Structure 1
Amino acid sequence: MERHEIEAFLTLAEELHFRRTSERLGLAQGRVSQTIKKLERHIGVPLFERTSRRVALTAVGAQLRDDLLPAHQQTQRAIARAVSAGRGITGVLHIGYSGSIVAAAVLAVAERFRHCHPDCEVQIQEVQLSDPFGPIRSGEVQLQVTEYPVDEPDLAVGGVLVSEERALMVPRRHPFAQRASVSLEDLADVTLLTIAGDLVPQYWLDYHFPRNTPNGQPIRHGYAATYWPEILNLVAVGKGVSPVAVGVERYNSRPDLTWVPFHDAPPIEYGLIWPTSGESARVRAFAELCRTSPSRLG
């Protein structure tokens, strides 16, 4: 059996669908069909049962898959290790993320990265918004997914990976909780909870927690929190409200909180950052996987 025949057989054995197999292999569907037929003629028995509605392995096909798969996977791992070593994608890659909305997706990309580069360990940690660039500047993390905007001379920006509509998180009994949407002008009538810390850039705070509405009305600022759970609890007890990404509700849904979408606010965007002096083969490889992920990171 030639390598392309093994790959076509094992891919079809996994997908049990000729079109998806051809898409994965980057081949015409007819070419995949011809390869399988040639392999079946060589072996002398059918490997797949085909109908107009389904494709299934025969008993011989299932046995062949079970016999070939371990050796094929070992070969693929050996090739991946050689490629990674040649490109310098070894060692440990420390990755930071700034919120639950991107955490699951970062973990999923990390699993793909480990499969592609088995000699490179990936370690992931959360970065607090009160010190958004501290870990990456200290070298604690080499790559980070965080809320934009980021305008720092020593940090490279890798482009938007996730764009989420903006909502206002309010207590369940707040007057806004019954609305279908709110406006940025409505912020003049509430107290805005913010993020604490001299380490948070003012331009970032102004973007996420403005002090004036678009028409110039002042917005009251209340308690400045260090950690995200503080904001959840303070909003719940009526100490203020907070702008958030709509998707945050998926991870922080509570009976005492309501998320009301804005109808006129810009989205909250998340993207990659890394030190301009610290771009490595590991960083480039992980960033590329993020960019080419079928669902991006959202």
Structure 2
Amino acid sequence: MLDRVELESFLVLAEELHFGRTAQRLHVTTGRVSQAIKQLERRVGVPLFERTSRFVRLTAVGSRLYDDLRPACDQIEAGLARAIASGRGIRGVLRVGYSSPWCGDLVVRAADVFRVRHPGCEVHIQEVQLRDPLGPLRAGELDLQLTEFPIDEPDITTGPVIYTEPRALMVASGHPLARHESVSLEDLAETTLVSISGQVPAYWLEYHYPRHTPAGRPIPQGPAVGFWQETLSHVSAGKVVSTAAARAAHYFSHPGVTYVPYRDAPPIEYGLLWPAAAENTRVRAFVHIVCDLATASRA
């Protein structure tokens, strides 16, 4: 009979193709993962993974085994989730927010899965505006959301990072930087960076819309905006530049706006968060689904 640790180690390693990340997801040591994989390979009689110092990848047998086992495990997990939901009464309404369209895409997909597993619970989805990223959570209008990190608030619980996106600088197509293959954070000292109005944590603003370059040079601040569409309009008019995830270029194709990748900026992380005092089975179930979908999309 297949050991549970062997099964979990195999499935997660097949998705992550990295022993360290697999161990983190399973909350065990890398040695325990390696041991479980070796035990399973002895049981099967052939290697399931190719391993070198540079990569880990499935063998042909390993790939077929994953294709056979994953649907069965998903069915078991879904059945267990439905039983737990029935026992715990996952019902009512779950309100989920998102701050960017790619986060919204994932939230919608997760909501579809959630509704199948928990038909007694409705899911309402809404966009969270730039000018008040935490307001709806604190006002009780949302139960959780998927948004840009960093978030470090005593009344809010932060969950796992779901997306890690490289940054780009949004500039007017006629701006001198639009002709560059890449830009540096130091280039911001020669621009006017959009500023954000509203109830936004100061540390969040400094991370995404800094007032000084890494070398300490001041960054001129432009008009304050509270909505993303305002930012696009100001950038296309040549009034300001703005930092964005590079992926935004695929969602916000705006006349007169060019996205230039950074070569030295840290990435933008997007993660889940919810009020610390309002965590419940609905929130935990939705978080689990989002994490599973995000992991599957990276496989």
Instruction: Please name the residue that 2:260 is paired with.
Output: 260
8 Å contact 2:162–2:294 — kept in the other structure?
Answer: no
8 Å contact kept, 2:236–2:257: yes
Aligned CA-pair RMSD: 2.4
Q: Distance in 1 between matches of 2:79 and 2:190?
A: 62
Q: Residue in 2 aligned with 1:128?
A: 129
Q: Which runs of 5+ in 1 are unaligned?
A: 1-16, 28-72
Please list every run of at least 4 consecutive aligned residues from structure 1 whose deviation after the TM superposition is greater than 3 angstroms. 76-83, 294-298
Alignment of 1:131-210 (within 5 A): 131-197=132-198, 199-210=199-210
SS in 2 for 1:277: helix
CA distance in 1, matches of 2:180, 2:168: 12
Number of equivalences: 234
Identify if the C-alpha distance between structure 1 residues 269 and 77 changes in structure 2 by more than 3 Å, giving closer, same or farther: closer
Distance (Å, rounded) in 1 between the aligned partners of 2:240 and 2:261? 17
SS state of the match for residue 119, structure 2? coil
Match of 1:66 in 2: none
Cα deviation digits, residues 69-121 of structure 1 (max 9, x gap): xxxx9xx9998655312123111100011121311111111111111111111
The residue aligned with 2:9 is none
Residue 209 to residue 164, structure 1, CA distance change in 2 (3 Å) = same
**What are the superposed Cα offsets for residues 16-38 of structure 1, whole Å, 9 maximum, x if unpaired?**
x97634432259xxxxxxxxxxx
In structure 2, how many angstroms separate the alpha carbons of the residues matched to 1:22 and 1:191? 54
Amino acid at match of 2:170: M
Residues 115-136 of structure 1 show CA distances to partners (whole Å, capped at 9, x for unaligned) of 1111111100011121111110
CA contact (8 A) 2:183 2:261 kept: yes
Counterparts of 2:188 and 2:173 in 1: how far apart (Å)?
17
Q: Structure 2: which amino acid aligns with 1:143?
A: L
- Assess, with a 3 A threshold, how the Cα gap between structure 1 residues 25 and 165 changes in structure 2: closer, same or farther: same
Q: Cα distance 1:229–1:245, how it changes in 2: closer, same or farther (>3 A)? A: same
Q: Distance in 1 between matches of 2:212 and 2:129?
A: 25
Q: How does 1:50-69 map to 2 (within 5 A)?
A: none
Three-state SS of the structure 1 residue aligned to 2:200 is coil
Q: Aligned with 2:123: secondary structure?
A: strand
Query: Which entry has the higher C-alpha Rg, 1 or 2?
Result: 1
**Equivalences for residues 77-96 of structure 1 within 5 A:** 82-96=83-97
With over 3 angstroms needed to count, the CA separation of the structure-2 counterparts of 1:23 and 1:201, relative to structure 1, is closer
Within 1, Cα distance between the matches of 2:241 and 2:78?
50
Which amino acid counterpart does residue 213 of structure 1 have in structure 2? Answer: T
* Matched ranges for 1:280-295 at <5 A: 280-295=280-295
Structure 1 pair 203–89 and aligned structure 2 pair: CA distance change class (3 A): same
Question: Does residue 24 of the first structure (1) align with residue 62 of the second (2)?
Answer: no
Contact 1:81–1:119 at 8 Å: present in 2 too?
A: no
Distance 1:79 1:267 in 2: 37
The corresponding residue for 1:238 is 238
* Correspondence for 2:227: 227
The normalised TM-score by structure 1 is 0.74
Deviation track 1:255-290 (CA, whole Å, cap 9, x = no partner) reads 311000000000011101111100000000001111
Answer whether contact 2:232 2:254 (CA < 8 A) is retained: no
TM-score, normalised by the number of residues in structure 2: 0.73
* Structure 1 residue aligned with 2:217: 217
Equivalent in the alignment of 1:250: 250
Q: Judge conservation of contact 2:186–2:213 (CA < 8 Å) in 1.
A: yes
Identity %: 50
